[in-house]
Amino acid sequence: MPFNERPRDMGTKLNLVIDVALCENCNNCVLAAKDELVGNTFDGYSAPHAPVGEGVVRIERHVRGEGHMVDVTYVPRMCFHCDNAPCVAAGQGAVRKRQDGVVLFDPVLARGRRDLVAACPYGAVVWNEEQQLPQTWFFDAHLLDAGWEVPRSAGVCPTGAIQLRRTDDDAMQREVASRGLRTLLPELALKPRVFYANLDRVDRVFVGGTITARIGPHVEVVPATQVELVRADEVVATCVSDAFGDFKFDGLLPHGGEHQIRARHSEHGEAVCAAAVGAASVFVGELRLSDS
Amino acid sequence: KDASTRYTMITNGGPLFVYVKAGRILRMTPIDFDDKDAASWTIQARGRQFTPRRQATVAPHALAMKSAVYSDKRVLYPMKRVDFDPHGERNPANRGKSAYVRISWNEALDMVAGEIQRQKRVHGPGAMTIAHGSHHQWGNVGYYLSALLRFGNLIGFTRVAANPDSWEGWYWGAMHHWGHSQRVGIAGNYGTVADCLQECEMIVFWSSDPESTNGAYMGFEGTQRRLWAKELGIEFVHIDPHFNPTAQLLGGRWIPIKPTTDPALAQAIMHVWVVEDLYDKAYVDERTTDFDAWRDHLLGKDDGVPKTPEWQAHETGVPAAVVRALARQWAGKKTYLAAGVAGSGFGGAGRGATGAQWARCMVMMMAMQGLGKPGINMGNLQAGTPVDHEFYFPGYADGGISGELQWNGNAVNNYQKMPHVITVNPVRQLIPKQQFPEAILQGKAVGYLWDGLATELQFAPFEYPAPGYSPIHMIYKYGGSFFSTLTQSRRMEEAYRHESIEFVVNQSIWMEGEAQFADLILPACTQFERFDIGEWGSGGGYLQHGFNGLNHRVVALQHQCIEPLGESKSDYEIFSLILQRLGLGAMFTEGCSELDWVKRVFDASDVARHVSWKEFCRKGYFVVPPEKPGLEPAVNFRWFAEGRVKDIAEPQPLPSQWSGEFGKGLQTPSGKFEFLPETLRRGDPDNPERPVLNRYIPAWEGPRAADTAAKFPLQMIATHSRYSFHTNVDGKNSFTNDIQDHRVRVRGHAYWVLRLNSEDAAARGIRHHDLVKVFNDRGAVICAADVSPMVAPGVVKSFEASAEYQPVEINGETVDIGGALNILTSARSQSRSTSSMAPNSCMVEVVVWNEHAVQRKAA
Ligand SMILES: Nc1nc2c(c(=O)[nH]1)N[C@H]1C(S)=C(S)[C@@H](COP(=O)(O)OP(=O)(O)OC[C@H]3O[C@@H](n4cnc5c(=O)[nH]c(N)nc54)[C@H](O)[C@@H]3O)O[C@H]1N2
Ligand SMILES: Nc1nc2c(c(=O)[nH]1)N[C@H]1C(S)=C(S)[C@@H](COP(=O)(O)OP(=O)(O)OC[C@H]3O[C@@H](n4cnc5c(=O)[nH]c(N)nc54)[C@H](O)[C@@H]3O)O[C@H]1N2
Ligand code: SF4
Ligand code: SF4
Ligand code: SF4
Ligand SMILES: [Ca+2]
Ligand SMILES: [Ca+2]
Ligand SMILES: [Mo+4]
């Protein structure tokens, strides 16, 4: 949603969409959560969070690549407000699922319930030693209930990476399908209400390199080279090298095994090299074309 | 609804709404504009319309302010060092060691007032110096260039002459080629946001990380514009030893480079342009001088060394093939060069031994490519929006209440609109800032002036002490940042303990940094505890029209949100109480409270022409309407490129500084862009470290300085901290301590982060988040390692400006666990005949640190 458009009320349930390609690790969302929750009491919602230590919103870093071909993706993490929430089950009344989807740890009933930290498979629960309370990011429900348009994190995010969706579940599912949104650890089937765009940058890998050739007296990088990624003699992807001779096959599943890279340029010849796709992205470095 | 009151505030990181409930700050949020606020501008580019988000965006450090206000490190009452007795033993050698006792305000104020008088009587004018940081909590009244200067002028003080730390390289170098002395050697940004979006095809970020440096004070105002550029398909290149946050967000080709070697890369690019005929010959012929000599140097005709891509490869670590590809791309596309924070100057590369060489190369490259032609300019979309440039509101350097007419912009700005009692400091003695410790320890120092009035002023050395004036015996220190912002900063320990220094008073908000070296600590309050007024992002002075980094100009009442904590007082209040004891109270205040001054500033500004004082106070802020369509500022340098009279409304150069006809040409003697600067030929013709012809001279501390490099093989750069504003909102148990890219908590202590390349880490057995010792002959700092491929091999990158200085002694060795990395940097000036800093020329070694950092204070 563009910045200038106010979120329209299209339903009563709350969801978050986080585009990790737009997260620049500024930590405004992390700090806004601390600003809002540390030192403040919101009756029925939250007791003061701890001033020191990891907060209920945090940023996870994923770096890919080597040499000059690197990229990094930041994943803001918080309570996902799961519809099948194990914390709600374990809470036995201390954790509540609201109609709008929000999962709320009761600041009175949850006192002393250290066990609830482990109940969350996402590690979203922070133990507050001083208050003896398990605490989470509760969607700034106290603010939304009071008429605020968006939670603090969405309000401070400079790139619009975090967006509120106030919509019904069907509409949300349509967006999930059309944009390929994903949740973390879907195999747990907890039905989180926080969805991510562009998670491929986290759990897919790339194979890349730089095409060069000896041209006249110099070794030069070669733009516009046709490059193929081949597996078991089958071409699985093609691309063209850019102005710096760089090529990159992205979005590959990890552990894809042995591949071959074949490069061909009408003037400068051909080159072939092997690339083993394991857990991490591969930068093969220079791939020198030659006529043969 | 929740019984809170919503006030307004402007911080170094942007404007805020501050919600206060029962006398306590509840929260701080960015200001979202409402429908009654002025409209936003729209830029048409390539068939699309771009209108900015209707919010005053804020930097992370603004959102962490609450934790700094309520920090347990606040100084809450006046404190005296236990073994300091102004009438008996002063024990200067114990500074930084002994503890403090609480005293009353009366005792404290008497002590300061008494000491000021004693210094004058016993030693004479100049015996007291005032030393402060370069930034202050936002405002026009409380700012150091305002209230502090007024105070200082009324008692007389030796000025600490700052080096142009932000403009390093540009002031000493680039200015000689293209003028702009009143911008300290960098360019303005007028009209470049529209031009860039409409015409540009590629942006080369060279030592430029605007996602971290936020255009200094502009929050994330530039971010949306750069994302527009990305949508438009403008390509990006990032030349930086660090795959920095801007590169991380925007993508594009990262060209990792060894710090301080940039001039070699630049010359090789220019060499390719010459041999492949890829530069703007007509422009060079008509608008520049002495290109032939520079071309011959690139070709090696003068020294036998052609500056080829192969020549630079070993030096920079950038493969020759990449240099050729970059050179061709650059010449083939309409390219913006982004140097530093807002694209038209600054940059960490300017703060290395080759800083001036680099800045000179940057502008020479643009001269070869037709600077000012459509799509060809300096900038990174961080500045140059179509806001109204004529609407008057003073910036922080425009004088405030200072009464000073020389050392800020008062004479040309605020004083003319808001007459107030003039104040003059009759002490002309200056101490060069980077030699502050030597001035004390050796009793003398020589410096070169930072004064942008004219290019020539930098050539005249000044000496400390000045004839007839007293050397300093009293330090009035304001805050405690020097251990992490001054080079080779452990020098300060000895300086503070020197017997010639009879009295050190520190007016500080927090117990941090150097505060622990004072004899007397006066508790100042934060900006949330006093009144002020300001315009967001507006520096004024040398940062003229700096507000054009914003999408919307915002002027706000900086409301007193809460009562001063403990017994702390506003700086203004402290000054007036001291001056009352000297009979100067009324002279200082003119009978005005801070709020009275705020109203005077308001009345003198153009805001008063749009809204009433009452209305302004009620709403708290005012959004200046954007420039009317058709009246937007012209594009910077377009007039120059087209050989026209200057049509940019910046009041510089001064009328006398045009060598030819008024309004035609640059500030240089020829009025043209000078490849061999005439001002250097005249003023400093035979300086081997700053030659008229800008040849490449490798850094005096760097990989090529063989003996150092053998012992300390890693190059360290410590640049501006993304999550704090220098020391502001770092340390002191503030929220930023828990940001993983800022500090990392190990065994309960929040350590400063040091980034290093995976290979360098592996070679040293260092794993991610291990504690490491970073050291060289100057000292040692314990950091948490951040291991990744995101820094070039051979380089370690960290931030300057840790707020904490915590030396501890472990096994006979003193190490700092606060993160003050400037302990390790050299105090040497970049080049002879300049007063410049080069902290990014620093060789270190890094090893795993296994000792328990027992928090014992160093002896
Ligand atoms: N290694 C390295 N060193 C560098 C740089 C670098 O890139 N690398 N950069 C250099 C540059 S460009 C700069 S600008 C300098 C910055 O260096 P400094 O200006 O020294 O750093 P600041 O943290 O801004 O210092 C401001 C001080 O003023 C105090 N202060 C702020 N507001 C108030 C107030 O309202 N009242 C009182 N009483 N005190 C107040 C703060 O607490 C703090 O101690 O660092 C320079 N040093
Ligand atoms: N959040 C925040 N913003 C700030 C400040 C702050 O303290 N915090 N300080 C403000 C101030 S006072 C100033 S002066 C500006 C400073 O703004 P800049 O001078 O632009 O900032 P730096 O962080 O020093 O440097 C920018 C980039 O230069 C790179 N760099 C360092 N050395 C070299 C080199 O030798 N070669 C190349 N190619 N790149 C190099 C660094 O890795 C970094 O990414 O920032 C302002 N903005
Ligand atoms: S505020 Fe936005 S960009 Fe910043 S860290 Fe959070 S999600 Fe990422
Ligand atoms: S993320 Fe964890 S704490 Fe939040 S609802 Fe799901 S299981 Fe519960
Ligand atoms: S004379 Fe100068 S100041 Fe007066 S109106 Fe004309 S241009 Fe403006
Ligand atoms: Ca106007
Ligand atoms: Ca002036
Ligand atoms: Mo600076």
Bridge partners (DSSP) listed for residue A274: A260
* Spatial separation of the C-alpha atoms in residues A168 and A12, rounded to whole Å: 6
Indicate the pLDDT class of residue A292, thresholds 50, 70 and 90.
low
B811, HSE (Cβ side, Cα atoms, 13 Å):
5
Q: What percent of chain B has pLDDT over 90?
A: 96
- Cβ of residue B509 lying under 6 Å from some atom of ligand 1: yes
Nearest-by-CA chain A residue for B221: A158
- Determine the distance separating the centroid of ligand 5 and the alpha carbon of B583, expressed in angstroms: 45
Indicate the pLDDT class of residue B797, thresholds 50, 70 and 90.
very high
Residue A289 confidence (pLDDT): 98
Residue B856 confidence (pLDDT): 44
> Is pLDDT of B389 > 90?
yes
Helix %, strand %, coil % for chain A, to 5? 15, 40, 45
* Spatial separation of the C-alpha atoms in residues B261 and B841, rounded to whole Å: 10
**Residue B396 annotated in active site:** yes
> Is pLDDT of B854 > 70?
no
Evaluate whether A108 touches A21 at the Cβ level (below 8 Å).
no
Tell the residue nearest (CA) to atom 7 of ligand 3. A23
A to B CB pairs, distance under 8 Å:
147
**Does any CB of chain B come closer than 8 Å to the CB of residue A267?**
no
Evaluate whether A66 touches A90 at the Cβ level (below 8 Å).
no
**Which chain A positions have a beta carbon within 8 Å of B24's beta carbon?**
39
* Spatial separation of the C-alpha atoms in residues B396 and B394, rounded to whole Å: 7
Amino acid at B574: I
**Does any CB of chain B come closer than 8 Å to the CB of residue A136?**
no
Bridge partners (DSSP) listed for residue A263: A227, A271
Reported as a single tens digit per residue, the pLDDT across B157-214 is 999 999 999 999 999 999 999 999 999 999 999 999 999 999 999 999 999 999 999 9
Residue A20 C-alpha, separation from nearest chain B C-alpha, in angstroms: 10
**Which chain A positions have a beta carbon within 8 Å of B28's beta carbon?**
35
- Determine the distance separating the centroid of ligand 1 and the alpha carbon of B730, expressed in angstroms: 11
Residue B708 confidence (pLDDT): 85
- Straight-line distance from the first to the last Cα atom of chain B, in angstroms, rounded to the nearest whole number: 55
Which residues contact residue B182 at a Cβ distance below 8 angstroms, ignoring those fewer than 6 apart? B452, B453, B542, B544, B652, B653, B654
Residue B546 confidence (pLDDT): 96
**Residue B37 annotated in active site:** no
Mean pLDDT of B335-363: 98
**Does any CB of chain B come closer than 8 Å to the CB of residue A148?**
no
> Is pLDDT of A2 > 50?
no
What is the residue extent of each domain of chain A? 2-201, 205-289
**Does any CB of chain B come closer than 8 Å to the CB of residue A248?**
no
Reported as a single tens digit per residue, the pLDDT across B575-601 is 999 999 999 999 999 999 999 999 999
**How are beta strands A58-66 and A69-77 bridged, if at all?**
antiparallel
Mean pLDDT of B375-393: 98
Q: Tell me which residue in B245, B255, B735 faces A31 most closely, judged by beta carbons.
A: B735
Residue A4 confidence (pLDDT): 41
* Spatial separation of the C-alpha atoms in residues B292 and B799, rounded to whole Å: 41
> Is pLDDT of B116 > 80?
yes
Residue A5 confidence (pLDDT): 45
Nearest-by-CA chain A residue for B26: A40
- In the predicted model, what is the mean pLDDT of chain A? 95
Nearest-by-CA chain B residue for A221: B321
Reported as a single tens digit per residue, the pLDDT across A179-230 is 999 999 999 999 999 999 999 999 999 999 999 999 999 999 999 999 999 9
Multiple choice CATH, A2-201, 3.30.420.40, 3.30.70.20, 3.40.30.10, 3.30.830.10: 3.30.70.20
Read off the tokens for B595: 């709020």
Which residues contact residue B173 at a Cβ distance below 8 angstroms, ignoring those fewer than 6 apart? B185, B355, B356, B357, B358, B359, B360, B690, B694
**Residue B741 annotated in active site:** no
Residue B853 confidence (pLDDT): 53
Indicate the pLDDT class of residue B1, thresholds 50, 70 and 90.
low
- In the predicted model, what is the mean pLDDT of chain B? 97
Mean pLDDT of B37-54: 98
Reported as a single tens digit per residue, the pLDDT across B614-645 is 999 999 999 999 999 999 999 999 999 999 99
* Spatial separation of the C-alpha atoms in residues B714 and B810, rounded to whole Å: 24
Ligand closest to B213 (CA) is 2
Mean pLDDT of A53-66: 97
ipTM of the complex: 0.97
Nearest-by-CA chain A residue for B18: A35
**Which chain B positions have a beta carbon within 8 Å of A212's beta carbon?**
321
**Is the preceding peptide bond at B653 cis, omega within 30 degrees of 0?**
yes
Residue A92 C-alpha, separation from nearest chain B C-alpha, in angstroms: 30
Residue B705 confidence (pLDDT): 81
| Rg of chain B (C-alpha set) | 26
Indicate the pLDDT class of residue A12, thresholds 50, 70 and 90.
confident
- Determine the distance separating the centroid of ligand 4 and the alpha carbon of A120, expressed in angstroms: 5
Reported as a single tens digit per residue, the pLDDT across B478-517 is 999 999 999 999 999 999 999 999 999 999 999 999 999 9
> Is pLDDT of B859 > 70?
no
Q: What percent of chain A has pLDDT over 70?
A: 96
> Is pLDDT of A177 > 70?
yes
> Is pLDDT of B650 > 70?
yes
Please determine, looking at this structure, whether the domain spanning A205-289 carries the CATH number 2.60.40.10: yes
- Straight-line distance from the first to the last Cα atom of chain A, in angstroms, rounded to the nearest whole number: 53
Per-position DSSP letters for B444-469, written without gaps between them: -EEEE---TT-GGGGG-EEEESPTTS
Residue B736 C-alpha, separation from nearest chain A C-alpha, in angstroms: 8
**Is the preceding peptide bond at B465 cis, omega within 30 degrees of 0?**
yes
Ligand closest to B655 (CA) is 5
Contact A156 B58 (CB under 8 A): yes
Contact A68 B248 (CB under 8 A): no
- Cβ of residue A162 lying under 6 Å from some atom of ligand 3: yes
